[in-house]
Structure 1
Amino acid sequence: MASNFSSSKYVTKYVTKVLGQSGRRKEGSGLQYGIVLDAGSSHTSLFVYKWPADKENDTGIVSQHSMCDVHGGGISSYAEDPPGAGRSLVSCLNQAMKDVPKERHSVTPLYLGATAGMRLLNLTSPAASDSVLSSVTETLTQYPFDFRGARILSGQDEGVFGWVTANYLLENFIKYGWVGEWIRPRQGTVGAMDLGGASTQITFETASQAEDPANEVKLQLYGQSYRVYTHSFLCYGRDQVLQRLLAGVLQRRISHPCWPIGYSRKVLLKDVYMSPCTSAQRPQDYDVNTKVTLSGTGDPILCQQLVSDLFNFSSCPFSQCSFNGIFQPPVAGNFIAFSAFYYTVDFLQKVMKLPVTSPGELGIAVKALCNESWVKLLERAPSQQARLADYCACATFVNQLLLQGYRFDEHTFPSIAFQKKAGDTSIGWALGYMLNLTNMIPPDHQNFRKGTDYGSWVVLILLFIMVILVALAMLFCFARSSKSQSAI
């Protein structure tokens, strides 16, 4: 499947006409801005990006100017109150009005991209999904920005845009060289792994053709071709995994082995079974208003067994798979793992104070976390009480997803960097999405040169030193010869 950025129908062609309509290069100096609303399943974030006005479509210098977290749940949580979805964005949009200079408002592109939460809502109730999008569109059009649409991204879009963002920020596509020219580095790209609320994505460059065409995207960026493997697993995001584990506990009529000892909670059955991700575990007849009290047992082994039931490793129609019969080539190169990957590992390292640099260390850290009592956890991180009880389940899931699902091992696991940002910019799909729709990364680039790899630089420097030494030696010999002739 060939594409400049994405396979979805609204960006199958490179959008060169977008700038001609309302985002063409501005005259003069100063900064230009772009706004993206990342409407995730659990929350919405607004990002304001900036770049020099006279460098648009020519450089890799877009950076994050500011961000704002929208209060409340994601827009998909307003299925029964669509107008509320639009109202929820007002505070952050008002903040963007202040962050972007007033004279730039009318020429600042504004986008909203919705991800897995809205994909799930669109599966169960297309009408509700349309109403929510209509509500946010109505709100966004009331602001003086250049609003360019609210859309639901496909899982493939989300994965590829996240990969583009990570490599763009790390200057793997193009960078400003010390000689004052834009160069294309010869270093490889990094893979990107995103763990959101309702889905998880893995995307990385691969040399071989994918056995399943649905998992391959071909990109043309700055005159360089990239063959990228990508897959998005719906219902394998953090929040949906927790719901599926709750459904599994209720199905078995047991206490929750992933919750710490001393912790209990009342669970509303409607909240557990309303998602299509738990439909297979949903009882035929149940009272949606029933509440069940569950207690934690803090059992790492039983928790691991419960999480294992979320994966299917038994069948693979290809030469190799990750899980659920999905083709995946072997992981290779460096990776960046962000979103809930980062927060989970960060908790193990900073709160539990345990190293996580190998599969063995990750397993030990997960076991130690799951053995911790509720009282001890509260002592360690009182400010994280709302999410504290779920860290064991999340860490167990991350452990199995990375090692058994994606098949990282003792050799490849150390190549994963768990990061939230690259520099001052958050890693995620939002920046890559804006770069695509505003034509900020062209498929070809005439005004740059190829970078020279490290080995070549070493050889050139050594040759330069040798030339100097030879020249000095010749000068020394010439001087001695002249001195001898003078003496005669």
Structure 2
Amino acid sequence: MFIYKWPADKQNGTGVVSQHSECHAKGGGISSYAGNKGGAASSLEECMGKAMLEIPKSRHKLTPVYLGATAGMRLLHISKPKESDEVLKEVADKLKTYPFSFKGATILSGQEEGAYGWVTVNYLLENYIKYGFVGHWLSPGRDTVGALDFGGASTQITFETKQTVENKDNLMKLRLYGRDYQIYTQSFLCYGRDQVLFRLLALLMKTQGSDRSIVHPCYPAGYSDSVKLSSVFDTPCNERQTHYKPEDVLQIKGTGNYDQCLGNVSRLFSFKNCSYSRCSFDGVFQPNITGNFMAFSAFFYTHSFLQEATSMSITSQEHFEDAIHVVCNMSFQQMTTKFPGQESRLKDYCTVSAFVQVLLFNGYGFDFHSFPHISFLKKAGGTSVGWSLGYMLSLSNLLPAEDVLLRKSLRSGAWSALIVLFCFLLIVALYFLLRAIRKKDTGNVI
């Protein structure tokens, strides 16, 4: 949950929004409560209680509340539409019990999720609007920055392009701060972090011809695990086997082999059958990437782990690939020694890192020239980078601008500058006044 605030007036039709606070609900996303009646609603209580305390009571009825669901709910809607509707209704009914102005719960499309992430990135970088020296909001006229998002169930790429967007499904038009923007955006469902892990397990079972035990080249050597088949195939991203038994257990043994890992991860993509002038993968049109990009969510965590694990400053494609090679060839003992207390997460870093390598370089088309133009960030200016701020910025177009009782004051920096300028002018004025008086006195003596 994110709490945002903005002034009563607006700039060219869009509210100037800033993040007040955030709260992370315990447990999984609301889609994880499918079939668990009351679970999704209960998961909201702690964060909504925090909102009740942080938002002034006098503003409760005037505070709009929106719920946006993303890829996890998109997958649930595909596989179990009835349960998806039930979860969405349950959380909506729960939010209506609070004294805020509930505006609705909706499942965002993948293109919307990508576009809102792009809006957030460029807002935080002040590419739309920035506060000027004398207290006016100004349009800086800078180029926008592309957005790379990597969630649990999907991944998104969004950027402005001057090239023709051959598939109009990838074209979105936005109006923010009095300006129109045309962007390319694409969301790949089933290419999020969690779904990639499940898809790779299913692929290894298929290629090794076993649903009982497999060797996993992306898991570190010395690591072993067992999982129920239900956890692998209870997703529309994986096709269930003919003789699928949910309670059967799969034994997994890690071998820690970078080359074999990369080869298997690459098979999760399809680089054939493109009906456009250029495709990224799976037959999806994509223009050539241009300009700078910001990569956030799981992109940031993956990049951060690679740097910490290898003590490398990753600023080039070569550094990135070298770091992945090192991590994928580390034993589980080496990993746990370096990162004690993180055993449950360590096994997946090689898989995810190799996936990001294929996605960025083979899929999106980044190379040694363009990779240095990617910034991996979690926050910018104290605000979390993600789709939610962009969502609120866009929704604020629908909110009426309230009457402003007082004119917007200058920020402290602008006030300080004006005070210094005033003092300087006052000193100059006094100097010339004293000089004039002395001149007059001298004239009277003569």
Q: TM-score range by the shorter chain?
A: 0.7 to 0.9
- Alignment equivalent of 2:287, drawn from 319, 329, 349: 329
Which deviations, in whole Å up to 9, do the C-alpha atoms of 1:169-218 show, x marking residues without a partner? Answer: 11101111123322111210000010000000000001122011111112
Question: Does structure 1 residue 277 correspond to structure 2 residue 237?
Answer: yes
Partners of 1:82 and 1:117 in 2: CA distance: 17
Which deviations, in whole Å up to 9, do the C-alpha atoms of 1:371-417 show, x marking residues without a partner? Answer: 11111111212243221110000000001100110000111110000
Tell me the equivalent position of 1:339: 297
Corresponding letter in the other structure for 1:262:
G
CA shift at 1:55, angstroms?
5.1
Aligned residues of 2:12 and 2:177 also touching (Cα < 8 A) = no
- Alignment equivalent of 2:372, drawn from 392, 395, 414: 414
Tell me the equivalent position of 1:471: none
> Number of aligned pairs?
395
**SS at the partner of 2:23?**
strand
Aligned residues of 1:215 and 1:230 also touching (Cα < 8 A) = yes
Corresponding letter in the other structure for 1:53:
A
Partners of 2:50 and 2:202 in 1: CA distance: 40
Tell me the equivalent position of 1:190: 145
**SS at the partner of 2:38?**
helix
Which deviations, in whole Å up to 9, do the C-alpha atoms of 1:284-325 show, x marking residues without a partner? Answer: 112110111101000101100110011111221111110011
Partners of 2:392 and 2:62 in 1: CA distance: 14
Corresponding letter in the other structure for 1:175:
K
Tell me the equivalent position of 2:244: 286
Residues 231 and 59 of structure 1: CA distance in aligned 2, closer, same or farther (over 3 Å): closer
Tell me the equivalent position of 2:434: none
Which structure 2 residues correspond to residues 209-224 of structure 1 after superposition, within 5 A? 209-224=164-179
Question: Does structure 1 residue 364 correspond to structure 2 residue 319?
Answer: no
- Alignment equivalent of 1:236, drawn from 167, 191, 205: 191
Corresponding letter in the other structure for 1:255:
V
Aligned residues of 1:370 and 1:392 also touching (Cα < 8 A) = yes
CA shift at 1:440, angstroms?
7.7
Question: Does structure 1 residue 264 correspond to structure 2 residue 224?
Answer: yes
5+ long unaligned stretches in structure 1: 1-45, 443-488
**SS at the partner of 1:351?**
helix
- Alignment equivalent of 1:164, drawn from 111, 119, 129: 119
5+ long unaligned stretches in structure 2: 209-213, 401-446
Question: Does structure 1 residue 94 correspond to structure 2 residue 49?
Answer: yes
Partners of 2:289 and 2:309 in 1: CA distance: 29
Corresponding letter in the other structure for 1:388:
L
Corresponding letter in the other structure for 2:161:
T
Aligned residues of 1:57 and 1:439 also touching (Cα < 8 A) = no
Partners of 1:307 and 1:196 in 2: CA distance: 17
Tell me the equivalent position of 2:392: 434
Partners of 2:342 and 2:152 in 1: CA distance: 17
Aligned residues of 2:172 and 2:182 also touching (Cα < 8 A) = yes
Aligned residues of 2:15 and 2:397 also touching (Cα < 8 A) = no
- Alignment equivalent of 2:104, drawn from 149, 164, 168: 149
Tell me the equivalent position of 1:447: none
Partners of 1:371 and 1:378 in 2: CA distance: 14
Partners of 1:275 and 1:59 in 2: CA distance: 39
Aligned residues of 1:193 and 1:336 also touching (Cα < 8 A) = yes
Tell me the equivalent position of 1:176: 131
- Alignment equivalent of 2:306, drawn from 319, 327, 348: 348
Partners of 1:425 and 1:385 in 2: CA distance: 29
Corresponding letter in the other structure for 1:269:
L
**SS at the partner of 1:324?**
coil
Question: Does structure 1 residue 49 correspond to structure 2 residue 9?
Answer: no
Tell me the equivalent position of 1:68: 23
Partners of 1:182 and 1:75 in 2: CA distance: 38
Partners of 1:145 and 1:315 in 2: CA distance: 50
Worse-matched range after superposition: 57-66 or 152-161 = 57-66
Residues 198 and 78 of structure 1: CA distance in aligned 2, closer, same or farther (over 3 Å): same
Which deviations, in whole Å up to 9, do the C-alpha atoms of 1:92-132 show, x marking residues without a partner? Answer: 11111112122111111111100011111101111000110
CA RMSD of aligned residues (A): 1.6
CA shift at 1:221, angstroms?
2.3
Tell me the equivalent position of 1:252: 207
Partners of 2:206 and 2:29 in 1: CA distance: 28
Which deviations, in whole Å up to 9, do the C-alpha atoms of 1:329-367 show, x marking residues without a partner? Answer: 110000000000000001011233223211111110000
Instruction: Provide the identity percentage.
Output: 55
**SS at the partner of 2:149?**
strand
Tell me the equivalent position of 1:481: none
CA shift at 1:437, angstroms?
1.5
Residues 441 and 206 of structure 1: CA distance in aligned 2, closer, same or farther (over 3 Å): farther
Tell me the equivalent position of 1:376: 334
Aligned residues of 1:195 and 1:339 also touching (Cα < 8 A) = yes
Corresponding letter in the other structure for 2:131:
Y
Partners of 1:58 and 1:223 in 2: CA distance: 7
Which deviations, in whole Å up to 9, do the C-alpha atoms of 1:407-430 show, x marking residues without a partner? Answer: 001111100000011111011110
Aligned residues of 2:265 and 2:354 also touching (Cα < 8 A) = yes
Tell me the equivalent position of 2:82: 127
CA shift at 1:56, angstroms?
7.2
Question: Does structure 1 residue 108 correspond to structure 2 residue 68?
Answer: no
Tell me the equivalent position of 2:360: 402
Corresponding letter in the other structure for 1:98:
L
Q: TM-score, normalised by structure 2?
A: 0.86
CA shift at 1:82, angstroms?
3.4
Aligned residues of 2:6 and 2:15 also touching (Cα < 8 A) = no
**SS at the partner of 1:255?**
strand
Partners of 2:95 and 2:399 in 1: CA distance: 26
